């Protein structure tokens, strides 16, 4: 069974139900199935080679969802391209994968300069293609479980891009685990507010498979998201923590979310104190998952009932179906409960490798285990607790300092909106602990005050040597705080301050 089959089966069961809803249009399952099949026919007309690459570079929209599903229905590989990236950065990716087709919003030839034999489909032209190819019968493109369904690129903006090859089996595992873990039904209305090209995309097929509705927020602005929940009766969503903080600040009360049953956060960690605040505001609806692009989205999950228990607020839950998780030491030995080491994953979720990077693949997948680069431990009941990325652990004076521990303490201060803790090379200590802090509006907090708080809670080793105040912490397009960018800014000349000063 292919991932797209989950949608087509739902379209047969629920033809009259609404599959997609925005402020301006609604699309039924029957209509969506017809549109997907027609656009898939247009794609196959341009390139009938099974498993060839199709790039998709567009904002969240009905057209995006139709295109994403059509790529899969055509037996192609979906390559999401971040529309917020520059054409130069996108071309770095397209040069590596050499797509035969790119579906785009409004870039013209900017994405294809230097490439040969690339067909462009503009999203504005999709309705015409659907009209032209409606009713076309497509012969099935035969694929295997390990064939590639999607290639998603991860990593920084320098060096060779890493294309994560996500196989059909991984997508099927994600669909089943999302449905099972979140108990998705025909009554669910999933509010899409974060980019579909990123983590939100993993929820599209699970919701459609169950006859639910995808509700497109007008934008990622808090007011538009609140509207989707208040007026369009959204029941569930996925978003980064930063967006949750914005919603709390913008919404009048939990009454703006009358039908919300599941608020899943991801893309970044959320301190226990922030979790408690969100639970107080929204009610018992907060949940999270753990995964990576290399093992997408739902290697573990923790639902609202368990996350409401204080002892599990720092956990990302228990392992999902079709997956095994372990903690290993540097010699690859499996560690017992409550011992900290590297998190490794195996099973259907795991990628087949990095596109045309066999050496990097061999470094990451060893004896069937995906080495995540994350540090954590599993308790005696099987709950996973993440400490940090291996490369983010600060070794200062011979002691390991996990940034998340310091960030959790900083978040307890009422004046702190968000923080990022990182190491900087130090002649005396090897590395020194540093913190970048974004304050709440109208808050007056000094660096010394925050240092005292950390010293009282964790001791001198964990106490930041320097604290830098930012008007707004640098973030990625999906809301992740960019620690490397912060480090570069600090090393470029920002100075430690004992007074509240926003930079």
Q: Which of 116, 149, 167 is the last residue of a domain?
A: 167
- 85 assigned to some structural domain: yes
Which residues are CB-neighbours of 92 under 8 A, at least 6 positions away?
161
Does residue 243 sit within a domain? no
- What band does 500 get if pLDDT is binned at 50, 70 and 90? very low
Dig out the tokens for 422 from the structure.
Answer: 């990182």
Task: Give the whole-angstrom CA distance, residue 298 versus residue 122.
Answer: 33
Q: Which of 220, 199, 241 is nearest to 438 (CA)?
A: 241
CA distance 347 to 322: 6
Q: Mean of the pLDDT values across residues 303-320?
A: 96
Here the CATH number for the domain that contains residue 460 is: 3.30.300.30
Please tell me the predicted confidence (pLDDT) of residue 502: 39
Q: Which residues contact 128 (CB under 8 A, 6 or more apart)?
A: none
Look up the domain containing 101 and give its range.
29-167
* The predicted structure's pLDDT at residue 160: 62
> Given this model, what pLDDT does residue 7 score?
98
Q: What is the pTM of this model?
A: 0.85
Separation of alpha carbons 300 and 324, rounded Å: 10
CATH assignment at residue 131: 3.40.50.980
Q: Which two tokens stand for residue 62?
A: 């009905």
Q: Is residue 321 part of a domain?
A: no
Q: Is residue 423 part of a domain?
A: yes
Average pLDDT over residues 343-354: 97
| End-of-domain residue from the set 145, 167, 189 | 167
- Give which of 38, 362, 17 is closest to 213, Cα–Cα: 17
Distance CA 31, CA 7 (A): 12
Q: How high is the mean pLDDT of the chain?
A: 91
Query: Is 33 within the bounds of a domain?
Result: yes
Q: Is residue 426 part of a domain?
A: yes
pLDDT digits (tens, 9 = 90+) for 396-433: 887 888 898 899 899 999 999 999 999 998 878 888 99
- Within-domain flag for 421: yes
The 10s digit of each residue's pLDDT in 106-161 is 766 667 777 778 999 999 999 999 999 998 888 888 899 999 999 999 864 345 67
Task: Find the range with the poorest average confidence among 31-35, 326-330, 484-488, 491-495.
Answer: 491-495
**H helices of 77-157, where?**
87-97, 126-133
User: Which residues 6+ apart lie within 8 Å of 334 measured at CB?
Assistant: 326, 327, 328
Quote the longest CA-to-CA distance of the chain.
72
Q: Give the percent of the chain with pLDDT over 90.
A: 73
Q: 3-state secondary structure string, 286-312?
A: EEEEEEECCEEEEEEEECHHHHCCHHH
Under 8 Å between Cβ of 217 and 193: yes
User: What is the domain count for the chain?
Assistant: 2
Overall average pLDDT of the 238-248 stretch: 89
Task: For Cα atoms 128, 134, 135, give the angle at the middle one, nearest 5 degrees.
Answer: 170
| The last residue of a domain, from among 151, 167, 183 | 167
Helix (H) or strand (E) holding 35: helix 29-46
Instruction: Determine the distance from the C-alpha atom of residue 18 to the mean position of all C-alpha atoms in its chain, rounded to a whole number.
Output: 26
**pLDDT higher than 60, residue 498:** no
List, in order, residues 6 or more apart from 160 with CB less than 8 Å away.
Answer: 96, 357
């Amino acid at each position: 069974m292919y991932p797209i089959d989950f949608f087509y089966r739902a379209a047969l069961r629920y033809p009259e139900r609404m599959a997609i809803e925005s402020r301006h249009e609604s699309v039924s399952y029957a209509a969506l199935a017809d549109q997907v099949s027609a656009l898939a026919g247009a794609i196959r007309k341009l390139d009938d080679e099974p498993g060839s690459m199709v790039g998709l570079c567009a904002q969240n929209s009905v057209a995006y969802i139709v295109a994403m599903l059509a790529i899969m229905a055509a037996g192609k590989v979906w390559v999401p391209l971040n529309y917020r990236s520059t054409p130069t950065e996108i071309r770095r990716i397209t040069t590596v994968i050499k797509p035969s087709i790119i579906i785009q919003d409004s870039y013209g030839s900017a994405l294809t300069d230097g490439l040969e034999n690339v067909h462009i489909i503009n999203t504005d032209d999709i309705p015409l293609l659907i009209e032209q190819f409606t009713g076309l019968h497509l012969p099935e493109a035969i694929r295997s479980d390990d064939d590639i369904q999607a290639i998603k690129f991860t990593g920084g903006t320098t060096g060779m891009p890493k294309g994560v090859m996500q196989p059909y089996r991984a997508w099927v595992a994600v669909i089943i685990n999302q449905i099972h873990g979140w108990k998705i039904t025909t009554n669910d209305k999933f509010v899409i507010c974060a980019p579909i090209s990123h983590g939100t995309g993993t929820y599209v097929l699970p919701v459609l498979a169950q006859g639910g509705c995808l509700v497109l927020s007008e934008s990622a602005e808090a007011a538009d998201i609140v509207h989707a929940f208040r007026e369009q009766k959204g029941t569930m969503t996925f978003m980064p923590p930063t967006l949750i903080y914005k919603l709390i600040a913008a919404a009048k009360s939990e009454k703006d979310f009358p039908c919300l049953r599941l608020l899943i956060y991801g893309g970044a960690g959320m301190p226990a104190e922030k979790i408690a605040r969100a639970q107080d505001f929204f009610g018992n609806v907060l949940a999270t998952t753990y995964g990576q692009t290399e093992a997408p989205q739902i290697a573990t999950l923790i639902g609202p009932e368990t996350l409401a228990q204080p002892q599990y607020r720092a956990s990302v839950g228990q392992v999902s179906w079709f997956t095994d998780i372990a903690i290993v030491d540097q010699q690859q030995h499996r560690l017992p409960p409550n011992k900290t080491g590297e998190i490794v994953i195996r099973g259907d979720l795991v990628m087949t490798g990095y596109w045309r990077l066999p050496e990097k693949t061999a470094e990451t997948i060893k004896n069937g285990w995906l080495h995540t680069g994350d540090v954590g431990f599993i308790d005696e009941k099987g709950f996973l607790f993440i400490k940090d990325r291996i490369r983010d652990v600060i070794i200062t004076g011979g002691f390991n300092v996990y940034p998340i521990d310091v960030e959790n303490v900083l978040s307890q201060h009422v004046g702190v909106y968000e923080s990022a803790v990182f190491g900087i090379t130090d002649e005396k200590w090897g590395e020194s602990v540093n913190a970048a802090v974004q304050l709440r509006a109208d808050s007056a907090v000094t660096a010394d005050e925050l240092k005292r708080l950390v010293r009282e809670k964790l001791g001198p080793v964990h106490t930041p040597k320097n604290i830098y105040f930012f008007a707004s912490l640098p973030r990625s397009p999906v809301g992740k705080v960019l620690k490397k960018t912060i480090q570069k800014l600090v090393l470029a000349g920002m100075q430690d301050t004992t007074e509240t000063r926003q930079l």
